[in-house]
Chain A
Amino acid sequence: MNELLNIVFSTDFAFSILRVATPILFAALGALISNKAGIVNIGLEGIMLVSALTGVVVSAQTGSAWVGLAGAVLAGLLIAAILGFFTLKFRTHIILGGVAVNMFASGGTVFILYLVSGDKGASTSLKSEVLPNVRLPLVEDIPVLGPILSGHHLLTYVALLSVVAMYYLLKRMPLGLRIRSVGENPHAAQSVGVRVNRVQFTALLLSGLFASLGGAYMSMGYLSLFSRDMTAGRGWIGIAAEAVGRSTTVGTFLSSLVFGAADALANALQILKIPSELVATTPYVTTVVGLTVYAIAETRLKKRKARRHSPSDS
């Protein structure tokens, strides 16, 4: 037990929380922006996977991590655009569209990996590049905080900045206002001249952008290669984090960190022989419990309101 406490209360552990939480945070931001516009994008897991592969393949072909990152982002945007085209233009059900994206990604990435590298498991034969870690000047000299906050992967900082940008976008920018209005009531938004389809498409593209950054982080930072199904449910944890965070930027950010900590803890708990399979389910259990608590509270509130408005019925 002491051993565990030593691990948990070390700067290394705090550092690893941010490291593990980065892809979850990206996915959660992707879920947040699309949910705000009233679209449930469950294809995040698939988009992450496709971007992870594209990053590796493109960077191996060009020898540049930056071009690889651009490729990963483009691939993510492309998938999101296809999803958006079908759901908004052809009226494909968005959930089924998401299922299609995930199905395509889990098999399609193996398909492409095999065509490019001749291997169905991992991209070990490709010489792919990795994006750099960044040491923050000044910050790294602060005791305790320095080693926690400095030296992270570039995309970890991008993720943290994205949280700020998301907050600003949703609260202060016209686009954010439009996205929220479309999500809350598309008919009302349309009646005041908001182009609902266009706003939703933009939100979906942003969602794809965040997911693709998460994917690029997985294969060009967290690991330095692509392996089959490497996102391993992080897209779903992102969706869970957004749900537990009640579709607020701050809540989503905090729950992503908590789920990241649970993930990091799962590694540490293996010392105590607590089965990692069970620890891995904690984000999902938390989400179901959280959603239920919210829903019960909401139903009670609704009932109370209804009673107040119609005293004769009660």
Chain B
Amino acid sequence: MIFNTRNFEKIRTLAVVLISLLIAFLVISIISEHPLKTIGIFLFEPIRTVSHIGNVVEMSIPLMFTGLSVVLLFRTNLFNLGAEGIFYFAAVVASSVAIHFAANAFFHPVVAVLAGAVVGALLSAIPGILKAKWNVNELVSSLMFNSILFGVGLYLLNYYLRDPQSFSNSSYKFRPSAMLDVIVPGTRIHSGLIVALLCVAAGHYFMYRTKWGYELRMTGANREFAEFSGINTTKVIIMVHLIAGFLAGMGGSIEVLGMYNRLQWASLPGYGMDGALVALLAKNNPASVIGAALFLAYIRIGADQMARMSDVPAEMISIIQAVIILLISAEQFLKFWKNRMLLKEAGVRE
């Protein structure tokens, strides 16, 4: 039987997705002159051609990285939203390696991505250490770090990387050796996808098959209890921050080297906050990050195509995302139904 309490979370996630899609259809039918055609574009255009499918997969890559990063933090019960700033700053670091250093086509991207990831890990450790040692609220400090890293990153972009010949805030072109290879012909899907999938697999193994993963989950469930049962939670919290920063930094580096030939972000790209959405959809489960990232990428590409081919702007998607976040993190949503199922399974007559 599908409708039992064990599947409750899955059913609820599905219900939230359906409700959000219904709201999307509602918004489209209010605005569009040809609602049915527009809905069709929104739903099916992302899988109509190979290049559109490629777009979905390309967009899911950074979402997997930030999603996985946030999953680790949320699972440890750390409300850290710093992936946003780290993603941006790591992209700046990777870009400077890609512009100012030379190496062969294998080592160059590896060095650039690792540089971004390591810087990300170190930056992420700061709120982690502050939290673990002195209980500084990681939410506020990580949010402040987003703005700080954005300011410093933009400064580096404007003063050290900026191409004077370009009009906007854009950097010099990357050296071709630094850019990631396309792995699927006819699309822009780059080798970052392989790294992302490997990271997800490693994240799953780490979380459920290692002692550290166990300690992480214990700390997340109840820090004081974990401490009493002999887990060094200070160490766990700092470690999780390091890994999460490493992943977010890697995501930023890979995104910029895989999808662009110069750095052009004059504002935060938003992937860090999207990571929170992915983590929610994935129910803080590393393996589910893939599906969640693909889903989010799918509706975004759908919205992009819709904006291009119809009269509804792509920003509609932000309304849908807000609804998804509100409903999916709502503990009480559909709870009455779970209770009813529980009673039924226990054999209690209503």
Contact = CB atoms under 8 A, between A and B. Distances in A.
B92 to A, nearest CB: 12
A115 B329 contact: no
Given A96-B280, A239-B143, A103 B155 contact: no
Interface in B264-292: 267, 270, 273, 276-277, 280
Contact of A275 (B159, B280, B319): B159
A229 B158 CA distance: 21
A10 interface: no
Contact of A120 (B140, B313, B319, B333): B313
Interface string B79-104: 10100000000000000000000000
B202 interface: no
B148 interface: yes
A296 B154 contact: no
A291 B141 contact: yes
B197 interface: no
B27 to A, nearest CB: 9
A50 to B, nearest CB: 11
Interface in A68-116: 82, 86, 89-93, 95-97, 99-104, 106-108, 110-111, 114-115
A269 to B, nearest CB: 13
A111 B144 contact: no
A159 to B, nearest CB: 22
Interface residues of A, number: 47
B316 A111 contact: yes
B201 to A, nearest CB: 27
B321 A104 contact: yes
A100 B140 contact: no
Contact of A97 (B135, B136, B321, B326): B326
A287 B148 CA distance: 11
Contacts of A275: 155, 158-159
A291 B333 contact: no
A229 B267 contact: yes
Interface in A252-295: 275, 277-278, 280-281, 284-285, 287-288, 291-292, 295
A82 B319 CA distance: 13
B314 to A, nearest CB: 8
Given A104-B319, A275-B159, A295 B136 contact: yes
A233 interface: yes
- The size bracket of the interface on B is 35 or more
A239 B315 contact: no
Contact of A281 (B133, B147, B325, B333): B147
A108 B319 contact: yes
Given A99-B273, A107-B318, A229-B267, A295 B135 contact: yes
B317 interface: yes
A115 B313 contact: yes
Contacts of A107: 315-319, 321
Majority secondary structure of chain B interface residues (helix, strand, loop or mixed): helix
A92 B313 contact: no
B130 A292 contact: yes
A252 B273 CA distance: 27
A114 B315 contact: yes
Contacts, number: 142
Nearest to B157: A277
Nearest to A114: B313
Given A96-B276, A295-B134, A86 B143 contact: no
Contact of B333 (A40, A90, A236): A90
Contact of B313 (A89, A110, A285): A110
Contacts of B330: 86, 90-92
A29 interface: no
Contacts of A285: 144, 148
A243 interface: yes
A48 interface: no
A93 to B, nearest CB: 5
Contacts of B133: 299
A42 interface: yes
A295 B136 CA distance: 6
A240 interface: yes
A96 B318 contact: no
Contact of B81 (A99, A110, A229): A99
B326 A86 contact: yes
Nearest to A102: B273
B19 interface: no
Contact of B79 (A89, A95, A281): A95
Contacts of B143: 42, 236, 239
A95 B277 CA distance: 12
Nearest to A109: B315
B120 to A, nearest CB: 17
Given A115-B31, A243-B140, A298-B134, 18 more contacts: A89-B332, A95-B79, A95-B139, A96-B276, A99-B81, A99-B325, A100-B323, A100-B325, A120-B313, A275-B158, A281-B152, A284-B145, A291-B130, A291-B136, A291-B137, A296-B134, A299-B134, A299-B135
Interface of A: 40, 42, 82, 86, 89-93, 95-97, 99-104, 106-108, 110-111, 114-115, 120, 229, 233, 236, 239-240, 243, 275, 277-278, 280-281, 284-285, 287-288, 291-292, 295-296, 298-299
Which 7 residue pairs of A and B lie closest in terms of their CB atoms, listed nearest first? A107-B318, A104-B322, A90-B330, A281-B151, A100-B325, A111-B315, A91-B331
6 contacts: A99-B81, A100-B323, A108-B315, A288-B130, A288-B141, A291-B130
